[in-house]
Amino acid sequence: MRFLAKYTLLKPLFLIVLVGCGGEGEVGQPIPPETFQPMVSCSEQPALSWENTGRLFLTNWCTGCHSSQLSGKARFGAPGGVDFETEALFLPFKERIEARTGGERPSMPPAGGPSQEERELFLRWTACLGRAN
């Protein structure tokens, strides 16, 4: 009985938390993916593209290990099949690359390399992929 009394005191707290979690949307309704995308203007001029942003960043900082032309020790631990020479090869790994190249402590490339400005430009390009301007 003491067990139940202990948790009975927590009911008001639970109700406050439950009410506080309410929002404008309905419970159980999915949140649109664009809600999670960074607030980035995709109308920048000149427009960011594979050629002027993505390919340059990946060639300069990633394909030294992540290239289909490399194998074994020449990949310096990069998993086989995780290659970035073309936009088509890059796209399946987009979210993973964003996570590893961004944030306060980016883990790729492992030896550092790109400036914060280069990283931000690359991440602006990836954020705009597939979005209407």
Using DSSP's 3-state secondary structure scheme, residue 74 falls into: helix
Instruction: Give the count of beta carbons closer than 10 Å to the beta carbon of residue 69.
Output: 9
For the chain, the first-to-last Cα distance in angstroms comes to 62
How far is residue 57's CA from residue 102's CA, in Å, rounded to a whole number? 13
Whether 22 has a pLDDT exceeding 70, the answer reads: no
Instruction: Give the count of beta carbons closer than 10 Å to the beta carbon of residue 38.
Output: 11
Using DSSP's 3-state secondary structure scheme, residue 117 falls into: helix
Predicted confidence (pLDDT) per residue in 59-96, tens digit = 999 999 999 999 999 999 999 999 999 999 999 999 99
Predicted confidence (pLDDT) per residue in 97-131, tens digit = 999 999 888 999 998 899 999 999 999 999 998 76
pTM of the predicted protein model = 0.67
